[in-house]
Amino acid sequence: MMHQPVGKLLLFGATGDLAQRMLLPSLYALHADGLLPSGLTITGTARSEKDDETYREFARHALEEFLPADRKDDSAVGSFLDRLNYQALDASQVEGFVALKDKLGDISGGLAIFLSTAPWLFGPTIEGLKSAGLTGDNVRISLEKPLGKDLASSREINDLVAGVFPEERTFRIDHYLGKETVQNILALRFGNSLFEPVWNAQGIDHVQITVSENVGLEGRAGFYDETGALRDMVQNHMLQLVALIAMEPPARFDGTAIRDEKVKVLRSLRKISAQEAPQLTVTGQYGGGAVKGEIVRDYASDLGKSSGTETFVAIKAHVDNWRWHGVPFYLRTGKRLAERRSEIVIQFKPVPHSIFAERGGALQPNTLAIRLQPEEYVRLLVMAKQPGLDREGVRLREVPLNLSLENEFAGTRRRIAYERLLLDLIEGDPTLFVRRDEVEAQWEWIDGIRAGWDANDMKPKPYASGSWGPSASIALTERDGVTWNE
């Protein structure tokens, strides 16, 4: 593995939304904390005509707008901007890449390329980099989704990249893997002897994963309408969470071992057949309603035309292997739902025999909730006896054992996911990036679901904005005697 820091970073899409909100603030934070290699230069490229000076001004405005107040420091901002250069480029024209190479200068110290670009530009960009000699052994590339819209188009993009960059120099980003709480799943499972013995079909009744948003389209209308909730959220982020929750213990903490175990889970996902799609999946599209007390419009009005794209999806999934035999994984995600929340809920099995029942004590099975946003915590609900003399019978109550990352690590700086991922890219550590075989296993499962929707002509059911999605989503779990955690 090439675990050495590079001397240069090249950002495609350097004037885009992602660059302003995430990439520039993240790189600045790493710079301010002295974590970037000392001579590292950052070259931005995009179509807009700017020079070094105007790009630095542009970056200064982005930092002004998106950095938290306690991070702003004039001298650090100044020395960070000194690292920035800019080269205008129309990536669809191969000729422009020679000027880009000249701008970068000597790349013998290694180059990392961050590519967040429209999917149709992948081919020309890779071609251009190759023709200009920007793809040598000391160059690594990171790719931002969407990497295709199904298995076939994803293979096409991966083949294009693989023709020039071998897998060990290709870093596919899933920004959920940069989140501290997501990495904590590994610490929780494999750093404690408490959980692993019951982390299986004998101990766990079911798993729920919810990623809900209260926003609607927010300026991504065209992209989102072609994509839909299943491809936008489930195919990448949610299946990565399933893989981390369900994987076998890796032999060591490194990119190969961890990703070997993740891909086994993704390949073990039970295919959802066309016959089962109507029973095991629910799709929805938001209607009008109220979110946080504000009246909002339906999806078609937000989009400006009627559409069959789903803004909500719920799925009952299974991982077919020894560990998870018969344990359902309920997944749901959607826009304009009741609240913004990402969480994993592990519901354990009840105790085999309750000694409290005849004394009136009702038991709830233990629940482990791992909350990724907006707060970050791990909470285990356990049964305890309410204080008292028990003349009226035994009263039991669920009480939380709480690990709040905000409180527990209050003195430690909370970093956004891209800080971790950009630093790992610069240093060449692939552990938190997604390997090609994972992406293809994810797409294969997702394509099966979409084929089922087509075969049954399933149309998204309307749901009120500000609700928890279509009523069919409640029925999906209720018929198994399970209630969504709300």
What one-character DSSP code corresponds to residue 16? S
DSSP 148: -
Contacts of residue 292, defined as CB under 8 A and 6 or more positions apart, other chains included, come to 214, 466
| Strand residue runs (E) in 99-256 | 111-115, 139-143, 170-172, 204-212
Is the separation of the CB atoms in 14 and 441 below 8 Å?
no
| Annotated binding-site residue numbers | 47, 145, 175, 179, 213, 232, 335
Burial tier of 454 (Cβ tally within 10 Å: 0-12, 13-18, 19+) = exposed
- Tokens representing 223 are 């992209």
Taken as a whole, the chain contains a residue count of: 486
For the annotated binding site for substrate, the residues are 175, 179, 213, 232, 335
CB 411 within 8 A of CB 420: no
Instruction: Give the active site residue among 31, 237, 325, 353.
Output: 237
Eight-class DSSP state of 20 = I
Annotated binding site for NADP(+): 47, 145
Residue 98 phi, psi (nearest 5): -65, -45
User: Residue 450 is encoded by which pair of tokens?
Assistant: 């979409």
- Distance (Å, whole) CA 84 – CA 120: 27
Q: Residue 38 CA to chain centroid, in angstroms?
A: 30
The tokens of 114 are what?
């961050």
CB 104 within 8 A of CB 134: yes
Among 478, 170, 240, 225, CA closest to 335: 225
Question: What is the C-alpha to C-alpha distance for residues 200 and 468, in angstroms, rounded to an integer?
Answer: 29
DSSP bridge partners of 111:
8, 139
CA quadruple 340, 341, 342, 347: dihedral positive or negative? negative
Catalytic residue flag (residue 325): no
- Enumerate the active-site residues: 237
